[in-house]
Amino acid sequence: MAESAQVPTLVYLVTGGCGFLGEHIVRMLLEREPRLRELRVFDLHLSSWLEELKTGPVQVTAIQGDVTQAHEVAAAVAGSHVVIHTAGLVDVFGKASPKTIHKVNVQGTQNVIEACIRTGTQFLVYTSSMEVVGPNIKGHPFYRGNEDTPYEAVHRHPYPCSKALAEQLVLEANGRKVNGGLPLVTCALRPTGIYGEGHQVMRDFYNQGLRFGGRLFRAVPASVEHGRVYVGNVAWMHVLVARELEQRAALMGGQVYFCYDKSPYKSYEDFNMEFLGPCGLRLIGTHPLLPYWLLLLLATLNALLQWLLRPLVLYTPLLNPYTLAVANTTFTVSTNKAQRHFGYKPLFSWEESKARTIHWVQALEGSAW
């Protein structure tokens, strides 16, 4: 990686490059990494928009593959300088089995690490999650915490369990010798709840609001604050980390960084209304319309129904005991570690992040705009 800044020599691999965050990372790399010669985009499902990226100066190589298949991962990693491992099964609604979530998120990450070691790739950036820390099953608030804030991280749900295990594997791999004898340098980025263009849960809320005549019903107290971060800023952090890992290996290797920006601290629903409000939706109620015990009962019934119906149909409502607990527990970060370690400043202001997201919601199918 010691080439002059102007000469494009580097080969990057982005796993999960066709997902919500992955697409933003891919586009950001093409816009803002001048040293890039080839960008490999590895995903289980390749998107058609990749085609239009192939006409630019950087060679974009689309690789259809599965992170759970070690040989496919090794073939994609071979010859790359940096791997950004973003692929993952993001499922808190019971769409996939715990076994599948573990296989993709943990075994998949192990495959990426082993591929780096076997093929001599020295730099690995892992997309972790705030969920690695919490909220924990006890519902303890994490208020304006940073990477060093003590917090009892206790999980039961397969998704946070898998992200925590995978992050641990990545951090423990820091310093292992890759083929050729150089040390592997790894670090993990922990986004809070990501929002922005392409966000599926935001789309679901918007469609739900349209179905209810432009209304959403408050389920979470406005006092519960939920950390959110704009997808463009999360992508920018990945680009910066990947760029700085070589020069600052001693400082950054084996480290974790929360992803943050200037998005305001609000409840999950009030935050969504920053975008859905200007698109014509209203949030009904200043307090939750249903008491917590009733919501918990409904969430438990949903979980029971999901289990009963599983042989016939996949029933995956937004409300389940886990999503209710996460939405009802304050989890916000306040840190400048990324700025101190690798000079991160959000690329998009809150106003710009908001405007871009509103613009995207307004362009959604079924929108009245």
Ligand X SMILES: NC(=O)C1=CN([C@@H]2O[C@H](COP(=O)(O)OP(=O)(O)OC[C@H]3O[C@@H](n4cnc5c(N)ncnc54)[C@H](O)[C@@H]3O)[C@@H](O)[C@H]2O)C=CC1
Ligand Y SMILES: C[C@H](CCCC(C)(C)O)[C@H]1CC[C@H]2[C@@H]3[C@H](O)CC4=CC(=O)CC[C@]4(C)[C@H]3CC[C@]12C
Whole-angstrom CA distances from 259 to 81, 95, 115, 332 are: 23, 26, 26, 11
Q: Can you tell me the distance from the alpha carbon of 330 to that of 227, in angstroms, rounded to the nearest whole number? A: 8
For residues 305-344, which are near ligand X according to CB under 6 A?
A: none
Is there binding between residue 135 and ligand X (CB under 6 A)? no
Give the one entry of ligand X, ligand Y, none that residue 86 binds, where binding means its C-beta sits below a cut-off of 5 to 8 angstroms depending on kind: ligand X
How far from chain centre, in Å, is Cα 277?
24
Stretch of 41-49, 50-58, 167-175, 286-294 lying at the interface with ligand X (CB under 6 A):
41-49
The one among 22, 108, 120, 193 contacting ligand Y by CB under 6 A: 193
For residues 137-176, which are near ligand X according to CB under 6 A?
A: 163
Q: Can you tell me the distance from the alpha carbon of 323 to that of 40, in angstroms, rounded to the nearest whole number? A: 34
- Closest residue to ligand X: CB criterion: 19
User: Which entry of 126, 159, 195, 230 is annotated as an active-site residue?
Assistant: 159
Beta bridge partners of 195: 230
Residue that is written with structure tokens 């959403």 in the block: 216
Give the one entry of ligand X, ligand Y, none that residue 253 binds, where binding means its C-beta sits below a cut-off of 5 to 8 angstroms depending on kind: none
DSSP assignment of 178-237 equals PTTSPBPEEEEEEE-EEESTT-HHHHHHHHHHHHTTTEEE--S-TT--B-EEEHHHHHHH
Is there binding between residue 358 and ligand X (CB under 6 A)? no
Residue that is written with structure tokens 């998949």 in the block: 108
Is there binding between residue 86 and ligand Y (CB under 6 A)? no
- First-to-last alpha carbon distance for the chain, in angstroms, is 47
CB nearer to ligand Y: pick between 1 and 44: 44
Residue 7 has a CB neighbour count (10 Å cut-off) of 10
Give the one entry of ligand Y, ligand X, none that residue 326 binds, where binding means its C-beta sits below a cut-off of 5 to 8 angstroms depending on kind: ligand Y
- Closest residue to ligand Y: CB criterion: 193
* 322 counts as catalytic: no
Residues that bind ligand Y (CB under 6 A): 90, 92, 129-131, 193, 201, 219-220, 268, 318-319, 323-324, 326-327
Q: Looking at the annotation, which residues are catalytic?
A: 159
Residues that bind ligand X (CB under 6 A): 16, 18-22, 43-45, 66-68, 86-90, 104, 108, 127, 129, 163, 191, 193-194
